Amino acid sequence: MIKVYDASNITEAHIVRGMLEANGIAAYVGGYYLQGAVGELAVQGFASVLVADEQVESARQLIDEYQSAATQ
């Protein structure tokens, strides 16, 4: 599996994972339990989305479209 997206929080990671899975790409959210290890501190960079090696290009294309829509 290859990391294709670093989310700002675990909720965003699950949103991206859901979008990928809705488009036929199996995805996994990593770093889920790491956020809890730091308590109430605002932490970023722990939540990430991973996909199988053969689906990386398709996933990155969808993520680019997601990010473009988010900035409009």
pTM of the model: 0.80
Domain that holds residue 10: 2-70
Sequence-distant (6+) residues with CB within 8 A of 56 are: 2, 4
Instruction: State the CATH number of the domain containing residue 58.
Output: 3.30.70.1530
Q: What is the mean pLDDT of residues 41-45?
A: 55
What pLDDT, on the 0 to 100 scale, is given for residue 35? 52
- Comparing 71 with 28, which gets the higher pLDDT? 28
pLDDT at 33: 61
Domain count for the chain, please give it: 1
Q: Mean pLDDT throughout 6-35?
A: 90
Reference 25, options 53, 46, 65, 67; nearest CA is: 53
